[in-house]
Structures are given as C-alpha cells and as structure tokens.
Chain A
Amino acid sequence: GQNIDQPTEMTATEGAIVQINCTYQTSGFNGLFWYQQHAGEAPTFLSYNVLDGLEEKGRFSSFLSRSKGYSYLLLKELQMKDSASYLCAVMDSNYQLIWGAGTKLIIKP
C-alpha cells in the first residue's frame, strides 16, 4: 500500500530552526509537495521537489532523496505565524496526490 509518514507534532522556539521529516512509500513518484495549513483554514502550497536536492524559498527549504523515500522541510528564523500544520504529499504514478496526516508545529516565544 501507499504510505506517507511524518511526525504528529513538533515544538520549537521563536527565532530557531526546525526540520520536519517525511518518509514515503508510493506506487511511482511524480514529485513531493509541502503544504502549510493554519488551524481552521485551507492548505496552501509551499514547495515542490521532483529531483534530489535542496530547494530554497526564503526562510523555507525543502529537501528530497528519492532513493531513500525521504524529504524534509526546513524552517529558519521561526516566527509565531509559522505555527501551523505542515502536510507532506507525494504524487504517484497516476498523478494523484497521496497525503500524510500532517505535522502540527507549535512555536513558543
């Protein structure tokens, strides 16, 4: 079966760095996506990786290793507004997104 694993919850301190991991087992691979979802709101797109390596976008970076079925989202200079759930999703061979349950990130002052 297809599976996306990510930690349920993480806590970090304002101004610090946090890394949210995601491992996956899917039938085929056409890209890995990270979304941010604030409580009570819709998910919004953060990043996309299809080749191995690091993609940087401001304070957020996303890394992919296809051979290991592994990705991480790195958030730098954490701000209180970064408190949200972060969803990892993989596009399978049928071009359908398979979603992880999300990691709730709590930022403390």
Chain B
Amino acid sequence: IAGITQAPTSQILAAGRRMTLRCTQDMRHNAMYWYRQDLGLGLRLIHYSNTAGTTGKGEVPDGYSVSRANTDDFPLTLASAVPSQTSVYFCASSGDNTGELFFGEGSRLTVL
C-alpha cells in the first residue's frame, strides 16, 4: 500500500441497502476525512477524524457514519442508501491541522 487506498472504486447499489466504503492510509497521518463531490458543487465534508478513537461531523453527515478504530483505517457506512447519496466519495488524510490533504482515488457510488 502506498499513500491512501479506497475500495470499491465503483459500486451500483439498490436503495435501502447498507454499504461500507473502505479507506486505508499508510502515511501515519492523524487526520482523516470523507468528502463527497457532486457536479457543480465543491467538495463537501461528511465526517472527519482528528486522531484514532475520535470522529466529528462535517457539513453533510446525515445518513452516514464513520469509525476510527486505528490510525490507518477510516470506513464510511451508509446505513440505508438513498438515491441522493449517488456521488463520488473521496477519502483524504493530512498531518495535524494542515490543509495539504492526500486523497484516495475516489469511490463512485450510484444508488438506484
């Protein structure tokens, strides 16, 4: 693993299903983030974690949950997917309170 890895790369999901997007980094960064990116909108923060064991809500947290059991992993769960959650999801990490984020390649999620 080099940098930050997301899985799956792409997924089509039926509405109402549960889905977990995986994110793993090997840079030992304390801070990790989940964003969604929609056409015409800026990146919107869903949840973040400043360090292992802590998480916080971003701008658009509803319908999503996260956990941070260790430094490397930061999964994002959609408990019951809805079509409005169709988006490209980016996981990112950074050193403490820096704005230089390292992004994963993204997960394209389609909810039908």
Contacts and interface: CB of A to CB of B under 8 A. Distances in A.
Nearest to A2: B59
Nearest to B58: A96
A31 B99 CA distance: 8
A25 to B, nearest CB: 14
A96 B40 CA distance: 20
Looking at chain B's contact residues, the main secondary structure is loop
Nearest to A96: B45
A87 interface: yes
A91 B42 contact: no
Counting chain B residues whose Cβ lies within 8 A of the other chain, the interface size class is 10 to 19
Interface in A88-109: 89, 91, 95-102
B58, B97, B99, B100: residue with the most chain A Cβ atoms closer than 10 Å: B99
A33 B100 contact: yes
B105 interface: yes
A29 to B, nearest CB: 11
A44 interface: yes
B45 A97 contact: yes
A101 B42 contact: yes
Interface of B: 40-45, 48, 58, 90, 97, 99-106
